[in-house]
Amino acid sequence: MKLKLLHKLFLGNLAIILVLVLGLLAASYYSSKSFFSDSIKNMENEAALVIASGLAKYYEKNNSWNDFVKQRKLWHSTIASQLMNSELMPVVTSKRSRENGSKVPEKIFIARAIHLIERISLLDSNKNSIIEATITSEKYIFQAITHKGVNIAWLRIGLFDFKHQKATDYYQKHHLNIVYLLGVIGVFAAAICSFYLSRAITAPIEQISLNVKKLASRNFDLHIDVNTNDELQDLATNFNQIAKELSRYEARQKQWLMDVSHELRTPLTILQGEFEAINDGVTTYNKKSVASLSEEVQHISRLVNDLHELTVTDTLELDYQHEEVDFHLLLTNYLQRYRSKFLSSDILINLDLNAAKVIIAGDVYRLAQVIKNILDNSVRYIKSPGQLWIEAKQIDNELQLRFHDSGPGVPDIALTRLFDRLYRSDPSRNRQTGGSGIGLAICKNIITAHKGQIFANHSSKGGLCINIQIPFTKQLS
């Protein structure tokens, strides 16, 4: 059976919790046993000191232990009085005793005191037995009884046997029952928390997984709301961004296909009409009709070539050639080549290119293509007589190049669309004077691939301004 992530997380968390609880119970068992043992030992060590001190006073008064030997009850009562007066054993005060100011020991005090007294032996200074303990033990502790700095006797106390004492069993059983109860409650509460935590993790994942399936079926109108303030929220945000971009891409693709079909339909319709006219005898087949047909074929050919270039530059970032390009030399060479075209179109060129003396790491052929496309557009669209200003500036390690002309300009709405595929701004940039509307789209792909930017705005000279910002690696003198 295939386990869901929810079940895996829940079972994993539960297993960890169980291991921790079992470890806690084991640690609690051994620590409580050790704590109880250490507490009793410390208490009995203190009791030995108190009893030794009292017996030293007794010896100072009677100068012998004969009364203890003859009267075992006196021995026991003397030790008991020392323990009561020292308050080493817990005592509980009854209501009546609180009223008269006396303290009455409870059964637990009596039992523990008797058990301790029965384990105490009195030895002389040479550790010979004077009074033997009622209860024998395998291990002992010794406490010296001194009088005027002289060791007059020894107390020998048998160590408490913790394994077979009801008090020990009661204490541990009571303590462990509490620990067991807390462990069960803890496991139950942790299991509930683990389930809801696992659910909180897997619910957004299930939501994202469901929407991924919809996305695979080309349903891009999707949005996921995940408010976990963690990586899952970042994942959902990225998914929403992908869905939005795919939706835009699909819309652009549809528009792209419509534009391409429209661009091809016009010259093909003209060609078909020309051929039908010639076939029907309406138009004579001569040099003029052949020139008209050739013009439309050339238009289709240019359009196909531009479409191919645009497709190539769409993936330019992956395959363009890296080399050091002297951008100033490249730009001035192409300005020289276009000089005759600008002269024949009565367009004056004004240059300020000192800042363009830089080295750019890129593809010289593609950068030349950008310059050619912009200069071609200038020749086509600047109204004769007119002017073109080309200016360069450097800001940090970025070359900023501006091509702005004397007009005509474009409407505000066209500024953001000039770099769209197959876009032409009519009527000033019309079909008779313009190209296919792909040149600036190619420029944008190339500049973007070189980690730069290209955009358009209105020129202060009255026309259009094309701005290029591209990083350079070295400045030339």
What is the model's pLDDT at position 7? Answer: 67
Question: Which residue, among 180, 185, 133, 178, has the nearest Cα to 159 in the 3D structure?
Answer: 133
Q: Which residues contact 391 (CB under 8 A, 6 or more apart)?
A: 352, 353, 401, 402, 404
CA gap 423, 403 in Å, rounded: 20
Scored b (16 or more CB within 10 A) or e, 107-137 reads eebeebbeebbebbbbbeeeeeeebebeeee
Place of tokens 């497709």: 311
CA gap 447, 455 in Å, rounded: 10
CA gap 139, 156 in Å, rounded: 10
The residues that bridge with 400 in the sheet, in sequence order, are 393, 469
What is the model's pLDDT at position 434? Answer: 53
Q: In Å, how far from its chain's centre is CA 96?
A: 69
Question: Which residue, among 253, 298, 299, has the nearest Cα to 421 in the 3D structure?
Answer: 253
What is the model's pLDDT at position 37? Answer: 65
Measured from the Cβ of residue 211, the count of other Cβ atoms closer than 10 Å reads 18
Question: Which residue, among 168, 164, 100, 171, has the nearest Cα to 135 in the 3D structure?
Answer: 164
CA gap 251, 218 in Å, rounded: 12
Whether pTM exceeds 0.85: no
Instruction: Give 320-475's CATH code, choosing from 3.30.565.10, 3.40.50.980, 2.30.29.30, 1.10.3210.50.
Output: 3.30.565.10
3-state secondary structure (DSSP) of residue 76: helix
Q: Which residues contact 394 (CB under 8 A, 6 or more apart)?
A: 355, 358, 400, 472, 475
Domains 233-314 and 320-475 share a fold: no
Radius of gyration of the chain (CA): 51
Task: Give the CA distances from residue 193 to residues 9, 190, 204, in Å, rounded to whole numbers and listed in that order.
Answer: 12, 5, 18
CA gap 143, 148 in Å, rounded: 16
Task: Walk along the chain (477 residues) and give the pLDDT tens digit of each residue.
Answer: 556 666 677 777 777 777 877 777 777 767 666 666 666 677 778 888 888 888 888 888 888 888 888 888 888 888 887 777 765 554 433 344 444 444 434 444 565 667 778 888 888 888 888 888 888 777 888 889 888 888 889 988 887 665 545 555 666 677 677 777 877 887 788 778 777 777 777 777 788 888 888 888 888 788 888 777 777 788 888 888 888 888 877 877 777 677 677 667 767 887 888 888 888 877 777 887 788 788 778 777 877 877 777 776 666 554 667 799 999 999 999 999 999 999 999 999 999 999 999 999 998 988 998 999 999 889 988 989 999 999 999 998 999 999 999 988 888 888 888 888 777 665 444 444 555 677 888 889 889 989 999 999 999 888 999 999 999 999 987
Instruction: Give 233-314's CATH code, choosing from 1.10.3720.10, 2.40.420.20, 1.10.287.130, 1.20.810.10.
Output: 1.10.287.130
List the domain boundaries for the chain: 5-166, 233-314, 320-475
Q: Are 475 and 466 contacting, i.e. CB atoms less than 8 angstroms apart?
A: no
Scored b (16 or more CB within 10 A) or e, 303-332 reads beebbebbeebeebeeebeeeebbbbebbe
Task: Give the CA distances from residue 10 to residues 22, 187, 197, 232, 473, in Å, rounded to whole numbers and listed in that order.
Answer: 18, 12, 8, 18, 55
What is the model's pLDDT at position 6? Answer: 63
CA gap 4, 199 in Å, rounded: 11
Q: Which residues contact 189 (CB under 8 A, 6 or more apart)?
A: none
CA gap 110, 91 in Å, rounded: 10
**DSSP letter assigned to residue 122:** E
